[in-house]
Chain A
Amino acid sequence: MARTIFAMGGGGFTMEPDNPALDEFILSLSPAPVPRICLLPTASGDADEQVRRFHATYGDRPCTPTELSLFRLGSDPVDVEEHLLSQDIVYVGGGSLRNLLAIWREHGVDEILRRAWEQGTVLAGISAGAMCWFAGGVTTSSGTPAPARGLGFLPYSLSVHMDGEPARKPVYLDAVRAGALPSGWAADDGVGLLFRDDQFVKAVSSRPRTGAIAVRPDGCTPVMVEQLTSREHPTRQRTAPFEVLELRSLRYGAARR
Chain B
Amino acid sequence: MEAGNPLLDDYVLGLPGTERPKVCFLPTASGDADHYIVRFYRAFSPERCQPSHISLFRRDRTAPDPEEHLLQQDIVYVGGGNVTSLLGVWRAHGLDSVLAEAWRRGTVLAGLSAGSLCWFSEAVTMYNQSRPPAPIDGIGLLPYSNCVHVDAEPRRLDAYRELVADGMAPGYAAEDSAALHFVGTDLHRVVTSRPKAKAYRVAPGEVTPLESHFLGPVAVAA
Contact = CB atoms under 8 A, between A and B. Distances in A.
Q: Is chain B a partner of chain A in the same complex?
A: yes
Interface of A: 43-48, 70-71, 73-75, 77-80, 95-96, 98-99, 101-103, 105-107, 140-143
A74 B32 contact: no
A96 B59 contact: yes
Interface stretch (B85-93, B192-200, B207-215): B85-93
Given A71-B31, A78-B128, A99 B57 contact: yes
Task: Categorize the interface residue count of chain B.
Answer: 20 to 34
Contact of B130 (A48, A78, A140, A142): A78
B89 A102 contact: yes
Given A96-B56, A98-B93, A107-B85, A74 B129 contact: yes
A103 B57 contact: no
Interface string B49-82: 0000000111110001000000000000000011
Interface in B12-64: 29-34, 56-60, 64
Given A74-B82, A102-B91, A107-B84, A141 B130 contact: no
A45 B127 CA distance: 15
Contacts of B84: 103, 106-107
B129 A77 contact: yes
A39 B91 CA distance: 25
Interface string B178-190: 0000000000000
Contacts of A142: 59, 93
B100 interface: no
B1 interface: no
Contact of B92 (A70, A73, A102): A102
B85 A106 contact: yes
Contact of A77 (B31, B58, B88, B128): B128
Most buried by B among A48, A70, A101: A70
B31 A47 contact: yes
B126 interface: yes
A73 B82 contact: yes
A243 to B, nearest CB: 28
A99 B89 contact: yes
Contacts of B31: 44-47, 71
A75 B129 CA distance: 7
Which 9 residue pairs spanning A and B have beta carbons closest together? A45-B31, A102-B92, A106-B88, A77-B129, A77-B130, A102-B88, A45-B57, A71-B31, A73-B128
A23 to B, nearest CB: 23
A75 B31 CA distance: 14
